[in-house]
Chain A
């Protein structure tokens, strides 16, 4: 190692800069966050973070984020596969569209989704709108009431102000992560391995499960983890579509804002610290799985 050529000149300088930069942006704010909670006594801290309303908020935040991450994991993988492997007209435009949730301010996503899924919104009342439209059409042929009013109500999706609505916006904001993590790995994937599997008699499903998926698994998992982490922190879009009822549909960030409204900044940071702790734990866990699977696949090669 002693004779190894340095790639970046001025190692000490660059390392010092990196540490300084990280401290300024990440470590010092985190330390300040933890420090602020020391204004509370231990029992106050425990009382704050175990308050049933706050616990319900943790459950909702992590539950909705996990659900959204799972959906994104499944459909993000499909989308990435199609974009890389199945050429179709306009593919590049769809490819560019993937990044849209990154660029769009989440508040815009919030009001858009919340209006779409209202009882009489485009999607929220789709079945009812369809009945009105079809009856109007049938009216020209003398059957203005061809369909009864609630005939297509199974096509209504009134998810505004429900927790399902929360999951929907979280899917939206986390969607690009999985696609963008998996895409480059798929692009570099050499189809000869999969052709070898076929020629050895493996079915398509087996090939995907045993040959392709292990290769993209680490990238896919980190995409899911990013989507999950993003969903936990999401505030802007969620408060628009959630009904914000304490103990039922309040997310943790809203709890934090509420505590600040009550002029209780120390309690707000206490809740923040717990959120941080769990997020770190989950990300560490996912990182662990990723490392383990990478090692395993390298060992197999």
Chain B
């Protein structure tokens, strides 16, 4: 009796399981539902939560397909490494082009990925600015003020954080006198791209004042967090330091999260145009058969709706009409680009951040 009861139970369970599996299979076969994984960096967490909802609704309306987008966030370099090591990302939306280059070098992306989408594959941009305690007690208005005696600066480690590399380049370019443009105009953008393509050598690398400034900066850094978000927490929550140097949108997030009455955002006179790029990971979408959705997802970032959303999350939209709407909260800053001032990421990486580069030299223990 008991044994047959058990058998019956087994049979029922098995039938149920098979039915369930078959149903799931059929569901997938009808392509009614797709799951994408977007591997991104620290500062985009909140932005992509909104984008994903908006895109899923839009895509469902247009194609009748339900898209679920999973997100993964962390230091940009670490995220790229996870993808190289097998994290099945359909799309990557990282902090800087160098990190996506690393995925390309691992053979997961085709060469020329940065030309696949408009504007260097960076649908929104950002810049580096300062966050100070309310009333700006240490009178920090520009890059050189970070180096005043007694000023504690919170910045992340450029070895592991995309934001921190932009910070490094922002200071270097500002002190080294990089040529700046008004990138909120079409003419400014075009001029910067033309100059970048025309430039043959980049004397800014040999600028002694810039080297001295960068060397001095890290003497003012009491805590070197591994990621940009960690630096924000150190400054805003743990109350360490006099000024946070970070992504512009991260500064707004800190004021939104921890109180507008506590901090002021300060824009330096010149800064760097930070271009966080996006890419479809070729080898993974081809394997999973998600290329069309993944491409649609990244294309969506360029639509007016998404551009507007980007601006709401304090990213600088590429769409100039939408940017004009937000000009009061994202004030125009004279900017230089990595391509035009430094000749692109491979050169920058090799000189500044690679093993034995300028950053390593700064921290060589002197004995």
Interface size class of B (residues with CB under 8 A): 20 to 34
Assess A261 versus B75: contact at CB under 8 Å? Given A53-B364, A161-B223, A239-B226. yes
B239 nearest in chain A by CB position = A120
Q: Of B80, B105, B223, which contacts A243 at CB under 8 A?
A: B223
Task: Tell me if A261 and B81 are in contact (CB < 8 A).
Answer: yes
- Chain B residues within an 8 Å CB radius of A132: none
- Closest A residue to B98 by CB, please name it: A263
Given known A52-B364, A161-B240, contact A263–B81 (CB-CB < 8 A): yes
The answer to whether A257 touches B365, judged by C-beta atoms less than 8 angstroms apart, is: no
Q: Determine how close the nearest CB of chain A comes to the CB of B232; give it in whole angstroms.
A: 15
Q: Is the CB of A115 within 8 A of B238?
A: yes
B residues less than 8 Å from A247 (CB atoms): 363-365
A260 CB, min distance to chain B CBs, angstroms: 6
Question: Which residues of B from 73 to 126 have beta carbons under 8 Å from A?
Answer: 75, 77-78, 80-81, 84, 102, 105
Distance between A39 CB and nearest chain B CB, rounded to angstroms: 15
Chain B residues, Cβ within 8 Å of A246: 157, 224, 360, 363
| Any B CB within 8 A of the CB of A112 | no
- Is A262 in contact with B77, judged by CB distance below 8 angstroms? yes
Contacts of B159 in A (CB 8 A): 258, 261-262
Binary A-proximity of B183-205 (CB < 8 A = 1, otherwise 0): 00000000000000000000000
Which residues of B211-238 are within 8 A (CB) of A?
221-226, 238
CB pair B238–A160 under 8 Å, yes or no, is yes
Number of A-B residue pairs at CB separation under 8 A: 72
Using A53-B360, A261-B77 as known contacts, say yes or no to A244 and B365 having CB atoms under 8 A apart.
no
Whether the Cβ atoms of A262 and B363 lie closer than 8 Å is no
Q: Are A261 and B78 in contact (CB under 8 A)?
A: yes
Cβ contact within 8 Å between A53 and B77: no
Asked if A52 and B365 sit within 8 Å, CB to CB, the answer is: yes
Interface flags for B343-367 (1: CB within 8 Å of A; 0: not) read: 0000000000111000010011101
Q: Which of A250-286 contact B (CB under 8 A)?
A: 254, 257-258, 260-264, 267
B167 CB → nearest A CB, Å: 16
Q: How far is the CB of B159 from chain A (nearest CB, A)?
A: 5
The main secondary structure of chain B at its interface with chain A is loop
Interface check A155, CB cutoff 8 A: no
Chain A stretch 96-149: residues in CB contact (< 8 A) with chain B: 114-115, 118-120
Q: Verify B224–A245 contact, CB threshold 8 A.
A: yes
CB of A116, distance to nearest CB on chain B (Å)? 11
Whether B44 sits at the interface, judged by CB under 8 Å, is no
- Output the nearest chain A residue to B219 by Cβ-Cβ distance: A245
Interface pair A261/B160, CB less than 8 Å apart: yes
Complex formed: what's the CA distance from A10 to B203 in Å? 76
A118 with B239, Cβ < 8 A, contacts A53-B360, A247-B363, A247-B365 known: yes
Cβ distance B265 to chain A, nearest Cβ, rounded Å: 24
Q: Does A34 contact B (CB under 8 A)?
A: no
Alpha-carbon distance between A267 and B360 when the two chains are bound, in angstroms: 15
Q: A53-B363, A247-B363, A263-B102 are known contacts. Are A258 and B160 too (CB-CB below 8 A)?
A: yes
Given contacts A161-B222, A246-B360, A248-B365, 20 further A-B contacts (CB under 8 A): A52-B367, A53-B360, A56-B365, A115-B238, A118-B238, A118-B239, A118-B240, A243-B224, A245-B221, A245-B222, A246-B363, A247-B364, A257-B226, A258-B159, A258-B226, A260-B81, A261-B81, A261-B226, A263-B102, A264-B355
Which residues of A does B touch, CB under 8 Å?
A: 52-53, 56, 114-115, 118-120, 160-161, 239, 243-248, 254, 257-258, 260-264, 267
The 10 closest A-B pairs by CB, nearest first: A246-B363, A261-B160, A247-B365, A261-B77, A243-B223, A244-B224, A52-B365, A247-B363, A161-B223, A258-B159
